[in-house]
Amino acid sequence: MLSEKRKNIYLVLVIAFSVMAISLSFYFYQIFFSPNALIDSNQNYMLKIGSNDTYKTVANRLYDDHVVNDLVSFSFLAKILGYQDNVKSGLYTVAPKMTNLELIRVLRSGKQSPIRVTFNNVRTKEDLAEKITANMEISEEQFLHLIQDSVYIRKYNFNEETIMSMFVPNTYELWWNTSAEALFDRMYKEYESFWTDERKQKASTMGLNQTEVSTLASIVQAESQKSDERSRIAGVYLNRLQLGIPLQADPTLVFALGDFEIKRVLNVHKETDSPYNTYKYAGLPPGPINLPDINSLDAVLNAEDHNYLYFCAKEDFSGYHSFASTLAEHNANARRYQAALNAAKIY
């Protein structure tokens, strides 16, 4: 009788233990392998983890943004796998229906998703700071601090006037949490890649160094938005440089005055005492007046060989220019353009 009772108790215990083991196994299976991210979504979520973020910050962000459905199971596995004490900053892609194990493995490995950084149509260092850091962790202020640090930029063989030459407008893949210093290193590497032996040789043949090419390209770019005539404009300026004639480039005066709303450069503007006043001072200004793009740089390196010394905007306001070899021809072109401006009441 007692033996039969013991058998029944044992059987109940075995069944209870089996049920508990199966339940725990199922629970642990769910923790590891059941979908727990973006359950009701069909779009990826980009998780930004800042350099100073803690596990609590990350977990709260995932929960508050409805990325992780069950935060308890996620945190439990994060603790087991050691992620809570090993948070790595960066930008991570969370895909719909990801399991806890998949998500934690991505975060723990530091396997970031790259971002694309594009900057062009830049006039000033402030413009560059705004555009280059727009989708990065670093701030505009951090970038500006370095680009305005004369001691720091000397390591790249630039000064405060020429440093903009180092940034070649393009689209680059970077990590979201790239530091300001690492960003400068990367841009210098891209600058070195752009300046191939062929481009260096072309610049040398013209009697220009790389920075001077950038400076001239910035003027050419400011003069025309028409890429197909930039090499001709570059040829005009190279002719003037060779003959020692002041460039007399209106965009350099606009830059010197810092007023980019000026539509017409007047004689009073030409009296401005600035090394960027190419009416008052011959030769190239100290540095670029904007960030020349690759088209403008190559326009200088492949400048047209011609006898033009002057050019003036066409009176049809097409954006193209009329070119002249003599002052008399140029004055005739200029009169037509001035008449068109007056007729359109553009002052």
What is residue 24's predicted lDDT score, i.e. its pLDDT? 43
**How far apart are the two ends of the chain, measured CA to CA in Å?**
115
Distance CA 100, CA 104 (A): 6
What is residue 8's predicted lDDT score, i.e. its pLDDT? 52
CA 59 to chain centre: 30
Based on its alpha-carbon atoms, the radius of gyration of the chain, rounded to whole angstroms, reads 32
Distance CA 286, CA 272 (A): 16
Distance CA 265, CA 248 (A): 11
What is residue 5's predicted lDDT score, i.e. its pLDDT? 63
The total number of residues written for the chain in this structure: 347
What is residue 150's predicted lDDT score, i.e. its pLDDT? 96
Question: Measuring CA to CA, which residue among 91, 33, 21, 26 is closest to residue 58?
Answer: 91
Question: Measuring CA to CA, which residue among 52, 103, 54, 39 is closest to residue 77?
Answer: 103
pTM: 0.87
Q: 3-state SS of the chain?
A: CHHHHHHHHHHHHHHHHHHHHHHHHHHHHHHHHCECECCCCCCCEEEEECCCCCHHHHHHHHHHCCCECCHHHHHHHHHHCCCCCCCCCEEEEECCCCEHHHHHHHHHHCCCCCEEEECCCCCCHHHHHHHHCCCCCCCHHHHHHHHCCHHHHHHHCCCCCCHHHHCCCCEEEECCCCCHHHHHHHHHHHHHHHCCHHHHHHHHHHCCCHHHHHHHHHHHHHHCCCHHHHHHHHHHHHHHHHHCCCCCCHHHHHHHHCCCCCCCCCCCHHHCCCCCCCCCCCCCCCCCCCCCCHHHHHHHHCCCCCCCCEEEECCCCCCCEEEECCHHHHHHHHHHHHHHHHHCCCC
What is residue 74's predicted lDDT score, i.e. its pLDDT? 95
What is residue 123's predicted lDDT score, i.e. its pLDDT? 94
Paired sense of beta strands 45-49 and 115-118, if any? unpaired
pLDDT in tens, the chain (347 residues): 556 666 555 544 444 444 454 444 445 556 766 888 898 899 999 999 999 999 999 999 999 999 999 999 999 999 999 999 999 999 999 999 999 999 999 999 999 999 999 999 999 999 999 999 999 999 999 999 999 999 999 999 999 999 999 999 999 999 999 999 999 999 999 999 999 999 999 999 999 999 999 999 999 999 999 999 999 999 999 999 999 999 999 999 999 998 888 877 878 888 899 999 999 999 999 999 999 999 999 999 999 999 999 999 999 999 999 999 999 999 999 999 989 988 887 76
What is residue 33's predicted lDDT score, i.e. its pLDDT? 62
What is residue 259's predicted lDDT score, i.e. its pLDDT? 85
Distance CA 163, CA 274 (A): 19
Paired sense of beta strands 45-49 and 321-324, if any? unpaired
Tens of pLDDT along 242-288?
999 999 999 999 999 988 888 778 788 888 999 999 999 999 999 99
Question: Measuring CA to CA, which residue among 158, 176, 295 is closest to residue 233?
Answer: 295
What is residue 16's predicted lDDT score, i.e. its pLDDT? 43
